[in-house]
Structure 1
């Protein structure tokens, strides 16, 4: 594949930017600490931006992951927070690549129309953290399907979603000794779960609508299983590649927001009779952050191109997330330093974006684990975890 200098998604970016203009900085400030941006998500849905990955035969736009990246990137570039709705994009990989025709027909048209939301992804558990293969939530087979027991944590948007992708253990680790064996992936209609499903909000330093979820004998029909029983971890890895690429796009959007705000303020703010931007101590950190953000965007585009081509992209997806999250954090610090004390005030909106972009150094995967993955699986060094 080759990267082109032409922005193939300029029209998408412009349209998303126009929509985001209806939801300015004060809209997002007014939602804190823990209100869900319902109006914003509804507007995105009505304009079709949350169904760009849904194939046209199911009512979606049938666009590429790269196009989906343009949508989320522009939301964050405009000062918003795409985390309110990004799961509906990265969960598509599991359904489109491994779901049955019946599952696609049942759920995708309703998702595209906005009648159903798929915003919850139940993977992480409090006792295992990033060691996904050691999860303890079980789905035991019955005559009619499965019964689920266990707990998930950091399951964001569960209170505002109709459906959830859920990873659970359906059998012990097999004779191969691979921890990923025996994990299965399900699509859960949370509306039908009743009292067997409990959702508790978790307060965090950013408005992320995250929760912990408890399953107490939740019954699932047999056709809730996605793909082949016991192969769910493989399906999740494909979904995680899409997730990392999309998160990288959001970080790049943040990074551009920070560098633009910092550049503008440094040009306008005068101290000692001249703009502070003439000082290299102010100007150079912003310029260096800009370079890092744009370099990360190249890796993000490369990873998305591989994903869309159906080629292996695990290393590239992880590197895109690593580089983009570090670049956005670098830009955030440069922006906050440029604004000085004013950057800590809510009126300048920087402290909100500062908190939001900090998350991506540790989620959806810690950057240290990305480095461990690259060291072992790409560079061939001994396994460190």
Structure 2
């Protein structure tokens, strides 16, 4: 597992200025800590605001006005100035995105601040944040998303949506750090809108994704993001990304297109629920192809009955088993040291897509990091090319 160590050089005791060492640029960058006027005694949301990145700035609102509004909303704002260093963009920037969360998680950065670990946002310059956009009501639980988006771009932009691996707090810093999840924030830095949505299954998660309910919720999320197009200057093109428990949700949105059983629930009914692509990382896609020693089989037997007696139930639980023809082009990746169960799932998925003549890109992650999201340029570069192709 990659560990990142902070290098902080406070200018004076209690001062709000510091430097932060960037892995991407190999240099110490100016950092400022801006305190909101209120909320000193409670845990506070934080915005890490990245200024002067190498990628073209797509939002046209000024940094001053955006930061002013974050502070007015009670957020602690931390600015980091990259001074347009050429390495301060995808894929090198993704190392810094992972480092910031890792250092906060291990109390090596902002250790003296009372931060809310469920509300730590990394926002590129020129972007704003729309929080708690509801897309589904499930009894006493309201599912929602947080959207980072370029503020008043010259041209509408595409969007990337992800379903969180934290079933309790969609922006939980522990999960984002553990998974080295940088896709959304990296995409935002490249000029796209990025939405983190609640996972359909409420906490605690036991590895069971009820169908068609998960489809109802994921499609409601896509519709709700697309419904923001006019107000947030989005172009209506959406790519879904998923890892681990979120990966099946990503695939599900591509395999159930046009199936009535998965429509008609949640917010913004009548809006198009299709996606234009999907990034599908390690996960479970079918329950009809499992290794004999898969540790989850006893749990599935209890929940669904044995596969021999209830194969239809096992089939309905898997996102892949709704696919009977070509779907949108997919981007697939899995770590070279991922567990055998996940490796088998990716093999079955790739084989099914090939059989159906459904286009996909497969780029395995060569860094031996196990159950983690990719940080290697050999994966991230073709992933960004894929996003550009699907979102324009």
* TM-score when normalising by structure 1: 0.26
More strand by share: 2
- Which fold has the larger relative contact order, with Cα–Cα distance below 8 Å and residues 6 or more apart in sequence? 1
